[in-house]
Amino acid sequence: MVTAVMPTYGRIDIAFENGEGSYLFDTNGEKYLDFATGIATNSLGHCHPHLVAAVQEQAAKLWHVSNLYNIPQQQRFADRLVENSFADTVFFCNSGAEAMEGCLKVARKYHFENGEPKREEIVCATGAFHGRTLTTLSAGDSEKYREGFGPRPDGFHHVAFGNLNEMRAAMSDKTAAILVEPIQGEGGINPASSAYLQSLRDIADEFNTLLIFDEVQCGMGRSGKLFAYETANVTPDIMGLAKGIGGGFPVGAVLATEKAASGMVPGTHGSTYGGNPLAMAAANAVLDVMLEKGFLSSVVKKGTKLKDDLVSLVEKHSTVLESVRGVGLMLGIKSVGPNLELMAAFRENKLLTVVAGENVVRVLPPLNVSEEEISEAVQKIDQTCSQVSS
């Protein structure tokens, strides 16, 4: 008999009861160090006092009104994103897939309004993940995820991630946009080089098409900058955000330049929940912390320490760990044996991580993790590797 919860996930048999900072406690009282953060989503760990206070205060006042009315908390958050990014305007929604759908709509509408309605095609990258809706499955690279779900929204091409010749060759007068993740997450923690991202900007300009970055996972401080594109010194025309933006509260956002969003007039897009007062209280509170002086530089510092320590562990345990990749606090360990087994072994030692493509285990601590907690994780990984290899 089917379970009441539709069995779309192969779930790990643990249920958590409460969380505190970088730790989670399960229903048996076991304590775990959480370097999974709900897949890069609990960006400030669990129950951060500032987030809890902001959400509690808002919850007692007003949760939802719909976008039929002005929402001051949403206007404030949009102003702050605009002030701190390339964007001139922001649309709010509730998830990463919804954000990426919004990005695609903005791009196609731009060309339509610009007198080039045939520019509908999106050139994406191998290894890409953009969500699980029918259209974002077409944008992503996983054939397995698409299989069995009927007619596929077309207009998507894939070229090798990092390969500029292929990207250039894929351009035509039908291209609406180039879409990439500056750091691929699901695909296995693959950072694009700055030179690649800069060249994508040049190609997009040369061929009169738009550049979309999917920063659903790598955005909001993960890379050590507020947005990963800043590390490459390139700006997109359109960008999707979600995951870490609400610190665990469901929030998604489509950011765009004024030019790229020129087709998005009243009635062209919508989302009932998008940007409601409760979600915006969480998101504004997350941004309060991330914009504090020294916060992002501490992510860089801690990320460098963690990566250096992991590199040492790869040298020490070369029969278990193959390599380390990533930037900031978005790191991946490529496993020698099956990544799921390594993850399970980490979990036995009460360290939580996340699976990724290319046999990688993602290491995604809260961005406000302490140096002591990083040392604790490194010690757990060291210990696990010794156990696995013996």
Ligand X SMILES: *Cc1c(COP(=O)(O)O)cnc(C)c1O
Q: Which stretch binds ligand X (CB under 6 A): 62-70, 73-81, 94-102, 368-376?
A: 94-102
Is 96 in contact with 186 (CB distance < 8 Å)? no
- Amino acid code (one letter) for 137: L
Q: Which stretch binds ligand X (CB under 6 A): 6-14, 95-103, 141-149, 166-174?
A: 95-103
Residue 181 touching ligand X (CB under 6 A): yes
Total chain residues near ligand X (CB under 6 A): 15
Question: From the list 102, 162, 182, 185, which residue makes contact with ligand X (rule: CB under 6 A)?
Answer: 185
Residue 352 touching ligand X (CB under 6 A): no
Q: Which is nearer to ligand X, 21 or 219 (CB)?
A: 219
Q: Least CB distance from residue 68 to ligand X, whole Å?
A: 25
At 328, list the tokens: 């900031």
Question: From the list 217, 231, 353, 368, which residue makes contact with ligand X (rule: CB under 6 A)?
Answer: 217
Q: Which is nearer to ligand X, 105 or 317 (CB)?
A: 105
Q: Which is nearer to ligand X, 21 or 244 (CB)?
A: 244
Question: From the list 21, 38, 96, 162, which residue makes contact with ligand X (rule: CB under 6 A)?
Answer: 96
Residue 211 touching ligand X (CB under 6 A): no
Question: From the list 216, 261, 342, 343, which residue makes contact with ligand X (rule: CB under 6 A)?
Answer: 216
Q: Least CB distance from residue 20 to ligand X, whole Å?
A: 24
Q: Least CB distance from residue 218 to ligand X, whole Å?
A: 7
Residue 187 touching ligand X (CB under 6 A): no
Residue 246 touching ligand X (CB under 6 A): no
Q: Which is nearer to ligand X, 23 or 91 (CB)?
A: 91
Residue 336 touching ligand X (CB under 6 A): no
Residue 374 touching ligand X (CB under 6 A): no
Question: From the list 44, 81, 100, 278, which residue makes contact with ligand X (rule: CB under 6 A)?
Answer: 100
Q: Least CB distance from residue 243 to ligand X, whole Å?
A: 6
Q: Which is nearer to ligand X, 222 or 380 (CB)?
A: 222
Residue nearest to ligand X (CB): 96
First to last CA, the chain: 41
Q: Least CB distance from residue 209 to ligand X, whole Å?
A: 20
Q: Which is nearer to ligand X, 240 or 303 (CB)?
A: 240
Instruction: Kindly list the distances between the CA atom of residue 293 and the CA atoms of 34, 194, 306, 354, 375, in Å, as whole numbers in the listed order.
Output: 25, 25, 22, 30, 24
- Binding footprint of ligand X on the chain (CB under 6 A): 95-97, 100, 129-131, 181, 185-186, 214, 216-217, 242-243
